[in-house]
């Protein structure tokens, strides 16, 4: 009787031989080249778990056979399926609350003052890059529409993009478990969200006011962007850069900054930084940066530093 010399089972629970080191290295290279996402060696078991069921579903016999299927059609549907399974999506409403406070206390008053002085158009454009299942762009929509309503002549446009078609399908439906309602300020919840009834009693849905200002699009940040036009006042790219290595991270940041308006603001996740990555922005508070290209950048950065000094006292 032949024994399995390794500590791994001869097959996975679905009857497929476990992912070998050689196969993992091949997937690692493919995924990095296509999406810029670096899978560390510790991610091997995670990749195996996420791909096994798909391989079985397709009738493939091994990870090598599945890999060949993906490589033979690098722009096809199965590459999208692979990347869907690699992407990790975790989000909630009004994540990073200090950033929303910064919007309301610093950025919005400045925009209102610019509008009163005449030089600012009443159009606000925002890009939520790595939007996951939609909680982020809809949180931004609630905040913006509350302060800059269409009834006062303002227009809000929010572009929400993600690599994963799976989460985008969910985001476009704009339906979440009612348990997530605790993440939304009560006033916003009453104004902007709809509570389900009957079979949907355990769910809530984005109301038409915020639903109408958010547009979703699949986008690979590791590739050249040719489907987006114009500049954005705010770009949110939170908890996305942690999946890239230094080289990919630099390319993605430069690509995104090409779409940030002069004196526009760039938002990161709490574990991310642009220090040492680019000189095109200046930090105004932890995880928030201002585009240095505009004449208001130095004034804005100075105002925030004065505010933080006052708070410290």
Write the CB contacts of 49 (distance below 8 Å, at least 6 apart in sequence). Answer: none
Per DSSP (E only), the strands in 52-165 are 123-129, 155-162
- Catalytic residue of the set 95, 125, 162, 233: 162
Tokens for 193, please give them.
């969200």
Write the CB contacts of 214 (distance below 8 Å, at least 6 apart in sequence). Answer: 134, 137, 138, 141, 158, 160, 206
| Alpha carbons 299 and 121: distance in angstroms, whole number | 20
Tokens for 86, please give them.
């690699």
Write the CB contacts of 131 (distance below 8 Å, at least 6 apart in sequence). Answer: 91, 137, 160, 161, 162, 167, 168, 171, 216
Tell me whether residue 125 is one of the annotated catalytic residues: no
Tell me whether residue 50 is one of the annotated catalytic residues: yes
Write the CB contacts of 6 (distance below 8 Å, at least 6 apart in sequence). Answer: none
Burial pattern 46-81, b for ≥16 Cβ within 10 A else e, equals: ebbebbbeebbeeebeebeebbebbeeeeeeebbbb
Residues with a known catalytic role? 50, 162
């Amino acid at each position: 009787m032949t024994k399995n010399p390794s500590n791994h089972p001869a097959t996975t629970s679905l009857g497929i031989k476990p992912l070998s080191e050689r196969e993992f290295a091949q997937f690692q290279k493919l995924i990095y080249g296509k999406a810029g996402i670096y899978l560390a060696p510790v991610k091997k078991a995670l990749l195996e778990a996420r791909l096994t069921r798909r391989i079985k579903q397709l009738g493939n016999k091994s990870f090598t056979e599945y890999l060949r299927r993906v490589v033979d059609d690098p722009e096809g549907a199965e590459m999208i399926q692979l990347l869907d399974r690699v992407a990790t999506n975790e989000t909630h409403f009004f994540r990073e609350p200090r950033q929303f406070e910064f919007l309301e206390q610093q950025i919005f008053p400045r925009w209102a003052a610019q509008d009163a002085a005449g030089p600012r158009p009443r159009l606000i454009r925002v890009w939520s890059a790595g939007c996951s299942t939609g909680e982020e762009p809809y949180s931004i929509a609630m905040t913006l529409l509350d302060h800059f309503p269409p009834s006062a002549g303002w227009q809000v446009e929010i572009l929400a993009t993600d690599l994963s078609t799976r989460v985008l399908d969910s985001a476009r439906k704009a339906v979440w478990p009612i348990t997530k309602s605790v993440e939304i300020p009560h006033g916003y919840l009453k104004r902007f969200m709809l509570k389900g009834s009957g079979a949907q009693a355990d769910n809530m849905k984005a109301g038409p006011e915020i639903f109408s200002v958010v547009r979703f699009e699949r986008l690979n940040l590791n590739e050249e962007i040719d489907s987006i036009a114009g500049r954005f006042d705010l770009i949110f790219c939170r908890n996305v850069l942690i999946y890239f290595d230094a080289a990919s991270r630099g390319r993605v940041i430069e690509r995104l900054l090409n779409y940030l308006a002069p004196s526009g603001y760039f938002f990161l996740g709490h574990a991310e930084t642009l220090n040492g990555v680019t000189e095109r922005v200046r930090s105004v508070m932890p995880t928030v940066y201002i585009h240095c290209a505009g004449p208001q950048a130095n004034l804005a950065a100075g105002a925030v530093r004065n505010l933080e000094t006052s708070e410290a006292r």
